[in-house]
Amino acid sequence: MSSSRPAVIVGITGASGAAYALRLLQRLRELDWYVHLVVTPSGWLNVHHELDLDKDALIALADEHHGIGQVGACIASGSHATRAMIVAPCTVKSLAAIAMGLGDNLLTRAADVTLKERRRLVLMVRETPLNLAHLRNMVAVTEMGGIIFPPLPAFYHRPASIQELVNETAERALQLAGIETARPRAWQGL
């Protein structure tokens, strides 16, 4: 399916932080971006567990949903124009597969395509503490042009709620993905 709207891929894995994915999907809809959605099996479990959302409710926020095993989907090819990909949240398993160019499912293949086409890839890696393998995989993705963006909240704007923290972090991820109309709060200094 083609669209005149700019396209972005949102990937969701099973790490904690499904609220970030939900907010990204909501904002991309508000900003009128065409969204391709791909979710791992553990991502679906986590969306249900953390947000109490079913598949249909999440899929309704995207323009196209692709199953994790659909390696023949349009987003598996560099010839399909997308501007960026955000994986939110990103497990260290998916990080490792992306770092190694594994492409063993549609999410990791789409990330590989994003990197090889020199498009923006933002990985909201959710893990702590980090071991050396995690750090090396982050370095590998960074060296390939990806952006590692752990969803660490900023407190300088004095958020009043968890939702405000999620919103601000999601907005920053959109900005890092090259979405010019994203509007995270800028630090104004003291």
Question: Which residue ranges form the domains of the chain, and what is each CATH number?
Answer: 7-176 (3.40.50.1950)
- Any known ligand binding at 20? no
Q: Is 136 annotated as a binding residue?
A: no
146 labelled ligand-binding = no
- Is the pLDDT score of 50 beyond 70? yes
List pLDDT tens digits, range 10-20: 999 999 999 99
User: Is 93 a known ligand-binding residue?
Assistant: yes
pLDDT band, residue 167 (cuts 50/70/90):
very high
Spatial CB neighbours of 65, under 8 Å, sequence gap ≥ 6: 37, 38, 39, 59
Q: What is the pLDDT of residues 117-156, one digit of tens each?
A: 999 999 999 999 999 999 999 999 999 999 999 999 989 9
Compute CA 147 distance to the chain's CA centroid, rounded to the nearest angstrom: 11
Contact 93, 72 (CB under 8 A): no
Tell me which DSSP letter residue 76 carries.
Answer: G
The answer to whether residue 2 scores a pLDDT higher than 60 is: no
Please check if 128 is assigned to a binding site: no
Q: Does pLDDT of 163 surpass 80?
A: yes
Whether 83 has a binding-site annotation, put simply, is no
Which pLDDT does position 187 carry in this prediction?
A: 87
- pLDDT band at residue 109 using 50, 70 and 90 as cut-offs: very high
Is 182 annotated as ligand-binding? no
User: Does 108 appear as a known binding residue?
Assistant: no
- To the question of whether residue 13 is assigned a binding role by annotation, the answer is no
